[in-house]
A and B are shown apart, each in its own frame.
Chain A
Amino acid sequence: MRGARRWQIYVPLGLYLLFTLVPFYWMLVFAFRPRGSTSIVPWPITFEHFDTVWNGMGFAVFFQNSLLVGLASLVATTVVALAGGYALARYAFRGKAAFMVGMLCTQFIPGALMIIPLFEIFRTLSLTNSLWSLVIAETVFQLPLSLILISGFIRNIPYELEQAAWVDGCSRLRGFLAVVLPLLRPALVAVGSFAFIHSWNNFLFALMFINDQEKFTVPVGLAYNLGENSVDFGALAAGGVVAALPVVIVFAFIQRYLVQGLSAGAVKG
């Protein structure tokens, strides 16, 4: 819509920005101001709460665990979805249509309600209380959407480009690596960062599959802080900042690609 007046943009936008940013600001105030202060600016600035959560409450370990699970899920999701997405885009095979429909249906499977059977499976595989159970669960739940996104992208890349590479003597794999992969960068950024953010944020699987405090992830540690009877609000806020930082940074970088990636790949199916 063209021709909206200035104030018609800035007034609602300003109000919405306030709604978005005040909660973040509130967290920062509590994380950085000294214990017992009631000031509404984080000044004088202190890092005592970060010391408490990072060293005293074990967030250093939780952070490492979350990072490991996040990166492993990112790699696993991207590689598996890349292979599957290529097959879906370039080969005709029996049951392909059924497979596509099946993938859409998985979107209706209540992830939260799968904890019981998944728990049983991981018990059989002796993977309970292991971070790998989280990697597997995360990857599987990320796969359908990632496959759809990546195969949509590959379909938009002209097949002739690849065929030209074969004529020049490239193998199928080399042709893919040299021609298709570089063009897929926006899709890979979207899929990879989706996978990372989701697994970084996932709470329920980590809560249900992990008992050992040494293996807690950041959200579980954060929930623990919330559950304490006398909540240390400074520590809660500092833990929140630790939980927010990686995803907010990743998100700030990718949100442009996200909008582009979605309008290019997903909707056309």
Chain B
Amino acid sequence: MLIAPSLIAMLGFLVYPMGSVIYYSLQHYNVAKPWDNGFAGLENFRTLLFEDPLFWQSLGFSVRWVVVEVVLQLLLGLALALIVNESFVGRALSRALVFSPWAVSGVLTTAIWVLLYNPFTGMSRYLADMGLMEYGAAPLANPDTVFWAAVLAELWRGVPFFAILLLADLQSVSKDLYEAAAVDGASRMRRFLHITLPHLRDAIILSTLLRSVWEFNNVDLLYTLTGGGPAHQTTTLPLYVAQQAAQSHNFGYATALTTVAFLILTFFSIVYLRLSKFGAKS
């Protein structure tokens, strides 16, 4: 009885919608063109695989985006967690400050970084005033720089996620192990490689997986920061779906894209957990 509300909520608003996604994906369903609606079979999927270059382009960008973000966030997050795990003066305050972007929304991140990147209001103008670079740099409008400009903004709010999770796990490493290793003359690097990393193993696997899925799915930042542009260069697959649904009202096709995205994610997650032997402490 106690679990009924959870069960009903999740069946009604997670499982049932997932089923209806698959149902819609087999339909022609376009709110703007209701006269064409009807059963479509696998036609949406055929269009998507063979006739839609934007599908492949957005999938490619999604993969690049996820890999770059997750790797950089993990490395920086791990370094940050190790630093704030040391004892030093001002530790509590430092933790609160460096973790704080975690609580900030994608739209707010965009608002802040738009101010920073804008050629008139941004950093570049002040750097140009000092003679360090040329006036008029607009990282978000330039196809050469837009990717890294977006990556940097997402890093800003993404690193704390890893730092918090890894710090939580670091605090459960037994101090005795380090002391014993230090007595045996193990260098700091060796202690890190042989004690810290193995201990963090499962936390790293789980957090990278959760984060990959999250980075793949999340659209807030790119939707508002670049709108997927310039020229669809920063369109991820979910962003493409959102645009299909919101602008072209082509629900049938958008749900076919959704289904493919879900299959890709599930497949990736299973393979990742298998390959990484999650839960098998050596």
Q: A87-B3, A140-B10, A259-B171 are in contact. Are A114 and B112 (CB under 8 A)?
A: no
A81 / chain B contacts, CB cutoff of 8 Å: 6
Q: How many residues of A contact B (CB 8 A)?
A: 91
Q: Mask for B229-247, Cβ within 8 A of A = 1, else 0?
A: 0000000001001100110
Verify A240–B112 contact, CB threshold 8 A: yes
Q: How many residues of B contact A (CB 8 A)?
A: 94
Asked whether any CB of chain B lies closer than 8 Å to the CB of A189, the reply is no
Asked whether any CB of chain A lies closer than 8 Å to the CB of B66, the reply is no
Could you say which of B45-53, B90-98, B131-139 contacts chain A?
B90-98
Q: Which of B1, B102, B168, B255 contacts A262 (CB 8 A)?
A: B168
Verify B84–A13 contact, CB threshold 8 A: yes
Q: Which of A21, A109, A141, A255 contacts B262 (CB 8 A)?
A: A109
Q: A4-B86, A116-B251, A204-B220 are in contact. Are A84 and B96 (CB under 8 A)?
A: no
Interface residues of B in 159-195 (CB under 8 A from A): 164-165, 167-169, 171-172, 178-179, 182, 188, 191-192
B65 / chain A contacts, CB cutoff of 8 Å: none
Q: Mask for A186-198, Cβ within 8 A of B = 1, else 0?
A: 0000000000010
Could you say which of B34-42, B75-83, B142-150 contacts chain A?
B75-83
The interface centre, meaning the residue of B24, B107, B168 with most chain A CB atoms within 10 A of its CB, is B107
Q: Which of A4, A21, A107 contacts B213 (CB 8 A)?
A: A107
Verify B118–A144 contact, CB threshold 8 A: no
Chain A residue at minimal CB-CB distance from B19: A117
Asked whether any CB of chain A lies closer than 8 Å to the CB of B71, the reply is no
User: Which secondary structure characterizes the binding site on chain B?
Assistant: helix
Verify A197–B103 contact, CB threshold 8 A: yes
Verify A2–B182 contact, CB threshold 8 A: yes
Question: A143 CA to B13 CA in the complex, in Å?
Answer: 11
Asked whether any CB of chain A lies closer than 8 Å to the CB of B276, the reply is no
Q: Which of B103, B111, B203 contacts A236 (CB 8 A)?
A: B111
Q: A108-B266, A267-B168 are in contact. Are A248 and B103 (CB under 8 A)?
A: yes
Question: A209 CA to B115 CA in the complex, in Å?
Answer: 28
Q: A118-B17, A255-B99, A263-B172 are in contact. Are A110 and B164 (CB under 8 A)?
A: no
Q: A17-B97, A140-B10 are in contact. Are A236 and B108 (CB under 8 A)?
A: no
Which B residues contact A (CB, under 8 angstroms)?
1-3, 5-7, 9-10, 12-14, 16-18, 20-21, 24, 76, 79-80, 82-86, 88, 92, 94-108, 110-116, 118, 121, 123, 126, 156, 164-165, 167-169, 171-172, 178-179, 182, 188, 191-192, 196, 202-203, 210, 213, 216-220, 223-224, 238, 241-242, 245-246, 251, 254-255, 257-258, 261-262, 265-266, 269
Q: A136-B9, A219-B107, A255-B95 are in contact. List 20 more A-B contacts (CB 8 A).
A: A12-B79, A16-B80, A17-B98, A23-B112, A26-B123, A83-B3, A113-B261, A115-B245, A116-B24, A117-B24, A203-B223, A208-B245, A208-B246, A219-B220, A226-B107, A251-B100, A251-B103, A256-B92, A260-B168, A262-B164
> 23 A-B pairs, CB-CB below 8 angstroms?
A1-B86, A9-B83, A21-B97, A23-B112, A23-B156, A24-B100, A26-B123, A106-B10, A110-B213, A110-B258, A113-B21, A121-B17, A140-B9, A140-B14, A201-B104, A203-B105, A219-B107, A243-B105, A259-B95, A259-B168, A260-B168, A262-B164, A263-B169
Which A residues contact B (CB, under 8 angstroms)?
1-4, 6, 9-10, 12-13, 16-17, 19-21, 23-24, 26-27, 30, 40, 80-81, 83-84, 86-88, 91, 93, 99, 102-103, 105-118, 120-121, 136-137, 139-141, 143-144, 147, 197, 200-204, 207-208, 219, 222-223, 225-226, 231, 233, 236-237, 239-240, 243-244, 247-248, 250-252, 255-256, 258-260, 262-263, 266-267
